[in-house]
């Protein structure tokens, strides 16, 4: 059975795109970023292509917005209305990783959030966590929001080194059946460093 997942994070800047690169390489998957808001010359799609090379299959963004801001603000500035019905999972029979923008409640419009896009696509979820002050709160809120939306949390990613005291609390809130992925920290953001780090990925099942 092919692996097709929606990857999101507990907030902005937690390393979703680096996590995507690791998992794309691990699963030999294709990549789709439905909404890119700002940084069009160095987009997340461009970043994973540079890390993984030309062999990576990439599907084009549904919306490419100029301003580096929340998608609802960027879209409004360009006179664009993001339409949830416009999003469809690419017709692809291989492994696929779909990357969201920011966290679950990043707004796509005045009334729609990334979580609505996740429900629309209805893929199992990969949730990326990173250690910082507040990550416990953000992680647990994100886990609960995913569950309340009726979505399956397939993987929770601990991206980089983690305070064991924080990790223990977060692990206790992870639903049974979810697997844990531990990703190493990259010293440099290069294809070579990514390849060297691959053997250090750890995947665990909850006890």
Give the three-state DSSP class for 19.
Answer: helix
Cα Rg for the chain, rounded, in angstroms?
A: 16
Catalytic residue of the set 3, 25, 33, 81: 33
60 labelled ligand-binding: no
Residue 33 among the catalytic residues: yes
177 labelled ligand-binding: no
29 labelled ligand-binding: no
Neighbours of 200 (CB within 10 A): 10
41 CB-near residues (< 8 Å, 6+ apart) = none
103 CB-near residues (< 8 Å, 6+ apart) = 8, 9, 10, 11, 12, 114, 138, 142
145 labelled ligand-binding: no
71 labelled ligand-binding: no
44 labelled ligand-binding: yes
Give the three-state DSSP class for 199.
Answer: helix
101 labelled ligand-binding: yes
- Residues with catalytic function: 33
Binding-site annotation, residues for substrate: 37
Binding-site annotation, residues for Mg(2+): 17, 44, 99
Binding-site annotation, residues: 13-18, 37, 44, 99-102, 184-186
Binding-site annotation, residues for ATP: 13-18, 44, 99-102, 184-186
């Amino acid at each position: 059975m092919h692996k097709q997942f929606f990857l999101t994070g507990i907030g902005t800047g937690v390393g979703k795109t680096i996590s995507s690169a690791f998992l794309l390489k691990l699963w030999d998957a294709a990549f789709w970023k439905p909404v890119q808001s700002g940084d069009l010359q160095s987009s997340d799609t461009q970043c994973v292509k540079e890390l993984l090379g030309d062999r990576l299959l990439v599907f084009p963004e549904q919306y490419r917005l100029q301003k580096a801001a929340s998608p609802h603000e960027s879209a409004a500035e360009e006179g664009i209305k993001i339409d949830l019905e416009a999003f469809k999972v690419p017709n692809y029979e291989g492994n696929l990783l779909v990357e969201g923008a920011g966290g679950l409640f990043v707004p796509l419009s005045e009334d729609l959030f990334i979580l609505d896009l996740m429900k629309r696509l209805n893929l199992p979820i990969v949730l990326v966590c990173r250690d910082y002050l507040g990550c416990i709160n953000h992680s647990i809120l994100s886990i609960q929001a995913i569950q309340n939306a009726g979505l399956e949390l397939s993987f929770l990613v601990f991206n980089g080194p983690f305070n064991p005291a924080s990790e223990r609390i977060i692990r206790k809130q992870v639903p049974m059946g979810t697997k844990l992925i531990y990703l190493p920290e990259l010293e440099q953001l290069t294809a070579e460093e990514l390849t060297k780090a691959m053997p250090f990925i750890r995947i665990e099942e909850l006890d």
